Amino acid sequence: MTKLERLQGEFVAIEAKAKPLHEKESRTDAEAAEFKDLLAQMKAKKAEIDLEVEATSAFSSLPGDRVEVHDVADEAPYAMGEFLQDVAFEARTHEKRPRLVRHQQRNRIMAAASGMNEGLPAEGGFMVGTDFASGMVRRVYDNSQVVNRCSKLTISGTSNSIKINGIDETSRATGSRWGGVRGYWIEEAGTLTGSKPKFRQIELLLKKQAVLYYATDEVLQDATALEQNANMVVSGEIQFLLQDAIINGNGAGKPLGILQGPCLVSVDAEPGQEADTIVFQNISKMWARCWAGSRANSIWLINQEIEPQLDLLSIPVGTGGAPVYMPPGGLADSPYGRLKGRPVVPIEQCAALGDAGDIILADLGQYQLADKGGVQMASSMHVEFLTDQMVFRFIYRVDGQPLWHSALTPYKGAGTLSPFVTLAARA
């Protein structure tokens, strides 16, 4: 056992003792003192690990090789394309490349500290480095008008789930606000009646998303092209699947989507409305059912197939009419069209024209995502041996669901309200 492995084991052992105390809702004085001491031990052990990682990287050598003094600070940044090339080289030749070894040593410790599972190089698995992993996930968020608007948590440690406390409120009627809080106007020295809020727990259990990337021998020769293509393909597919789950997911092995969520409000079609149409009254009634607190953050998600319908929307005024939809680049001078002053964003995951879900009014800040904060990768030269391709498998662990578990009955008025509103089918 190396010194790094011993330190890693000691860190994990201390963390295992601290975790049950961390998860307790309340602690005794003795438990609080023990928890504080364990945190201090973890901090000290982490400092030892960091120092040993730096030393090991600086004096890295392979069995049978001469010892080489190596200054990590002088080493050029390890680009993802070069990393994939080295992984492919090792898979095919079983020869170690020192830079890949140093990379794995560093990330082995990071994996232990964060509780992430690490792939075994001997079995074709490699931990994607912190910079690679965060960069890939960052592209998923930066390039998505849906994902980047959601609330996001990162789960660390050895846990694969998280519980969030929320107010159990389904009505704004007196006595129901905040799940049961009630205030009173009272006379001087009047008697107070007690009330208290009601809470519920939202649990997110990480689901696993996998993407396979096939690289030909020709692509493997060019590190820059390999990195650009892998980033585009892998992050693009992760983004597509995650965005589809946020909209349509059923919660079974994937996040629970808006259209399957219990808080969704569906607005009926107008009496006599023709199939595959959208009329001004649909938009007006959807807006009226959007919770007022969500309007400033809401966006309209649409299938671009409905855009010709939006271009024809107008409010009748005398013998003419006033436009309802402001197309992209119009008076709003923005890349997106606007309805009720909010952006209209076309996405692939909305339903076809006329089906429920072809247009959605959503405040995505009321949708909670949680992920592990990293991406795992494994490689194989055997899956596509006959076609001379390397196969890289990327794993991303994530879950999500609406923060609301029910539509809200307003203080005054009949229709329920929600941050997520759609239009019923017009078939």
pLDDT in tens, 361-389: 999 999 999 998 767 777 766 655 556 67
pLDDT of amino acid 383 = 57
Inter-CA distances, 88 with 95, 221, 391, Å: 10, 10, 9
Inter-CA distances, 197 with 169, 405, 412, Å: 9, 16, 21
pLDDT in tens, 287-335: 999 999 999 999 999 999 999 999 888 776 655 555 678 777 655 556 7
- Look at strands 389-402 and 314-317 and give their pairing: unpaired
Coil, strand or helix at 163 = strand
Rounded (10°) angle between helices 80-93 and 130-142 = 130
Inter-CA distances, 128 with 153, 154, 167, Å: 20, 17, 38
List the structure tokens of 22: 């961390």
Tell which residue, 235, 237, 236, 217, has the closest CA to residue 226. 217
Rg (CA), the chain: 27
pLDDT in tens, 137-161: 666 777 788 999 999 988 876 678 8
pLDDT of amino acid 178 = 79
Tell which residue, 312, 303, 298, 306, has the closest CA to residue 340. 298
Q: Among the ranges 78-87, 162-171, 200-209, 330-339, which has the highest mean pLDDT value?
A: 200-209
- Look at strands 367-380 and 337-339 and give their pairing: unpaired
Rounded (10°) angle between helices 130-142 and 223-248 = 50
Average pLDDT of span 24-46: 86
Question: What does the alpha-carbon distance between residue 213 and residue 15 come to, in Å, rounded to a whole number?
Answer: 35
Instruction: Judge whether 209 and 238 are in contact, CB under 8 Å.
Output: yes
* Phi, psi (degrees; rounded to nearest 5) at 394: -110, 135
pLDDT in tens, 248-294: 999 999 999 999 999 999 999 999 999 999 999 999 999 999 999 99
| Confidence class for position 354, pLDDT limits 50, 70, 90 | very high
